[in-house]
Amino acid sequence: MVPDVSTGSHTAGLLYYLFGPGRRDEHADAHIVAAWDMAGAPDPGRDPTATIGRLADRLDLHARLRAKETGTMPAKHVWHCPVRTAPGDRYLTDTEWAEVARRIVAATGIAPDGDDLACRWIAVRHADDHIHIAAVSVRADGRRARTHRDGWRAQAACRRIETEFGLRQLNPGDMTAPKTPTSAERAKAERLGRPVTSREWLREQAYAVLAAVGSEQEFFDVLGSLGITVNKRLGPKSGEVTGYSLAAPGDTNTSGEPVFYGGSKLAPDLSIIRIRETLTRPGQARARRTRPHPRESWQHADTALRHAAQTLDSDDDAAAQAHLAAYSTMLHNTALNAPPAYRAELRAAATAFNRARRSAIRADHQKATALRQAAKDLTYASHDAGGLPVAVIATLVHLAVAATRWYEQRGYQQQAAAAHRTLTHLHAGYRHAAAPVLADLARRTPHPQTTQRLEAAVRQAVPQHADRILTDPTWPALATTLAQAETAGHHLPTLLHQTATERELHTAHSPAETLTWRITTTPNHRATAARARTTTGAAPSGPSPAAASPVNASPDMGSQRHR
């Protein structure tokens, strides 16, 4: 059951909508199911003598009396709360909806139980699956109703109602969700033939751009290059940006003016203050004199993601929340240049995690600098890097599992559900990305004599897992990877032992596959040694491509960069 509280200033206008045909003729048999006083609330839906004007006058009585004293109508005095059952729920009777309405107005402070001076309100039903509660938030004693945190209290009441009425149990809110599009916004999107509303589209564009840029000015510049109108709010004295709003291309009001949405109205962490907390510091940006080699970028990403997983197992919740926010950035940038075969799934995963990245825990973003910088570097990294991108996607899957568990343990059910949706998309993307790489590795399995020696190395290094690894369908791919690692200068028993203890294998669906990706991200020892021999002692101006060569030199997967 989903409530959605909002406020306005025109009682009659809201009533005309509630008792009217709807924007798409979807309203049927509009009628009042509950009210502050059923005898005193004329019902224009069922009573042919009742009028909307008369009902509006009754509801506005206390507000108009207050206006006579002050000379002006109270601002935003109309309180509106649609309440909808979840898809698949049974239809409630009018009597049940009346009980729902009474409990919500009591919980939100509109009409507390036993309060004879409470606000006037009605509940209108014009569809099977929802009602609209309309109230005037001025009490009979002239005071405004105490509606602080009314949205949260409405949600809490709905959770109790769901249990008692046998309805689908939805996840409780925690006041970190972005504002949902209004019915008018959804109707406008349908009318224009757009799959999402402007608010939703702008939110996702802002997240994607924020993930890729390194400065506040770059954030605004890239948004503008996408055709988005950026309106900056400047301080009157300092001239500094104190806020901003965005308008989608072609989204105008009846006067032809752009429809703007403030950053914090798109999502709480898209306010200018929150954006500044997560952007790379200018000093950090200057410290990196050259971009890392693309292969090195993928290795840095994998290392930072593994560190993030360790952070989720610590007691530092502020650091963990910061790493989850940076993980969201990593998802966006991993999808940025992905091949078409799995780009859509990675983008869907990034979009899903935008909800999971926010919780009531305040993040300490400085503790996730390494992961955030590694994520930024991926904006320049092509997926044409053998098995490295696939190895990173496998680690992204692992961290999505850890994020789901972390949120569940802390009772953040909406975030846990969003992380689980992320995991579903990542699994699908991983399968598309991994299949050709694993198949190519399997085709290049070493000759039998070498394979037997590799099997012996596995039994020596990880005897407790050896049988599962050697009978795993992806063992041929791992054998090729081990042979490449040996050529790159690794001692196989040591490498196997290290990678096996890095992440436990007992619960791994495919231990050979897990080891393949772990070993793939291990640096090439011979290339590192060669670079060391040619170093003159001066600090290098930038990372060497050879130093970052992965041990798995899988051929081109046929992807192209998409900028």
In tens, the pLDDT along 189-236 reads: 888 889 999 999 999 999 999 999 989 999 999 999 999 999 999 988
Neighbours of 160 (CB within 10 A): 12
Between CA 8 and CA 117 the distance in angstroms is 22
d(CA 129, CA 117): 31
Q: How far is it, in rounded angstroms, from Cα 348 to Cα 430?
A: 13
The pLDDT assigned to 286 comes to 42
| pLDDT > 70? residue 110 | yes
Please give the mean pLDDT across all residues of the chain: 87
Phi, psi of 74 (to 5 degrees): -55, 140
CB atoms inside a 10 Å sphere around CB 82? 19
pLDDT digits (tens, 9 = 90+) for 443-460: 999 999 999 999 999 999
Whole-angstrom distance, CA of residue 132 vs CA of residue 100: 11
pLDDT value for 181: 79
How far is residue 98 CA from its own chain's centroid?
Answer: 35
Half-sphere exposure of 146 (CA within 13 A, CB side): 5
CB 485 within 8 A of CB 527: no
pLDDT in tens, 528-537: 444 444 544 4
Q: Which two tokens stand for residue 253?
A: 């009001």
Give me the residue label for tokens 């092509």.
382
The pLDDT, as a whole number, for residue 290 is 67
Mean pLDDT, rounded, for 240-253: 93
Rounded to the nearest 10°, the torsion over CA 512, 518, 523, 524 is 10
Helix axis angle, 52-59 to 11-19, nearest 10°: 140
Instruction: Tell me the whole-structure pTM to 2 decimals.
Output: 0.72
What is the pLDDT at residue 293? Answer: 78
Give DSSP secondary structure letters for 197-216. Answer: -HHHHHHHHHHHHHHH-SSH
What is the Cα–Cα distance from 525 to 491, expressed in whole angstroms? 10
Structure confidence at residue 280 as a pLDDT band (50, 70, 90): low
Distance separating alpha carbons of residues 385 and 49, to the nearest angstrom: 75
Which has more pLDDT, 476 or 539? 476
- The 3-state DSSP class for residue 144 equals strand
Are 543 and 290 in contact, with CB atoms under 8 Å apart? Answer: yes
Q: Are 386 and 395 in contact (CB under 8 A)?
A: no
How much is the CA Rg of the chain, to the nearest whole Å?
A: 29
Asked if 391 and 345 touch (Cβ cutoff 8 Å), the reply is: no
